[in-house]
Amino acid sequence: PLRPVIGGAGIVGLAVIFGRDYLGLSLPWVERALDGDQLSFAVFALKILFTAVTLGCAFPGGEVTPLFVIGASLGAALAAPLGLPAAALASVGFVAVFAGAANTPLACTIMGVELFGSARRLNETWRSVCSTRLRSIGSTAFSPTASP
């Protein structure tokens, strides 16, 4: 009974400290990442924190869209240190993080080609999706935590 109260207070506290950009879907972060903006590593870390607190305190919330935000923002943040285009890494991150969480590498590779309209990045997308698949064998973000 106290978990939602503590979680609500935690989310309010986080929003006061870091702002409201990480509440809800946070789709502007995806848009900025896919437009090629360089994002800070704090963006994906804070989205993970806000999402973990929300879901951990039994609030109904999305799992899919936050994964897209986390992946795209991580890709955009990695672009500068790796010397690669931010939009390209954001699109690969968008697909790869979801593929690792959902444990669906082939479907997510096809989704990436469909969403981003080009088979040019198919090789990079497939490699990153397979890499996340190898790290998540046997578990998904959507697995039940307790057996019925």
Residues near 98 by Cβ (< 8 Å), separated by ≥ 6? 64, 67, 68, 71, 108, 111
Q: Which of 125, 121, 122 is nearest to 96 (CA)?
A: 125
Q: Which of 45, 107, 97 is nearest to 71 (CA)?
A: 97
pTM attached to this predicted model: 0.79
- The pLDDT tens digits of the residues spanning 3-52 come to 889 999 999 999 999 999 999 899 999 999 999 999 999 999 999 999 99
CA 80 – CA 94 distance, rounded (Å): 17
Q: Is residue 114 scored above 80 in pLDDT?
A: yes
- The pLDDT tens digits of the residues spanning 51-69 come to 999 988 888 777 899 999 9
Q: What is the mean pLDDT of residues 127-136?
A: 66
